[in-house]
Amino acid sequence: TAGITQAPTSQILAAGRSMTLRCTQDMRHNAMYWYRQDLGLGLRLIHYSNTAGTTGKGEVPDGYSVSRANTDDFPLTLASAVPSQTSVYFCASSDRGQGVSPLHFGNGTRLTVT
């Protein structure tokens, strides 16, 4: 089935450790995004990429980094995890940008930082 694949599905991570959340899309969409979802706060944008080779900061970028080496992959890295990064992380893509075409989301990675 075409769409966004995220891995792992869930993870428990010790504080101070690093981790990379993987995201792959097979729709050849130009733009990709990382959101975190927290109860009562909705979805907040961490980083985005409008096209391969470019990235940008969203609302809550601190403590996270991304890369976009090709169209399909958009990994999110936590260099040194902290408990406040406990959240559900969603990767998304869109064909022509957030204001023109819909976002297609993956099923998320549930991360617990202890």
Partner 1 sequence: QQQVKQSPQSLIVQKGGISIINCAYENTAFDYFPWYQQFPGKGPALLIAIRPDVSEKKEGRFTISFNKSAKQFSLHIMDSQPGDSATYFCALYFQTISNTGKLIFGQGTTLQVKP
Point out which residues bind partner 1 (CB under 8 A): 4, 39-45, 59, 90, 92, 97-100, 102-108
The C-alpha torsion from 64 through 35 and 93 to 30, rounded to 10°, is -40
Residue closer to partner 1 (CB basis): 16 or 97: 97
Residue whose token pair is 């428990």: 12
Residue closer to partner 1 (CB basis): 32 or 106: 106
Q: Which three-class secondary structure state does DSSP give residue 83?
A: helix
User: In the bound complex, what is the minimum distance in angstroms from residue 91's beta carbon to partner 1?
Assistant: 8
The DSSP letter of residue 81 is -
Residue closer to partner 1 (CB basis): 14 or 100: 100
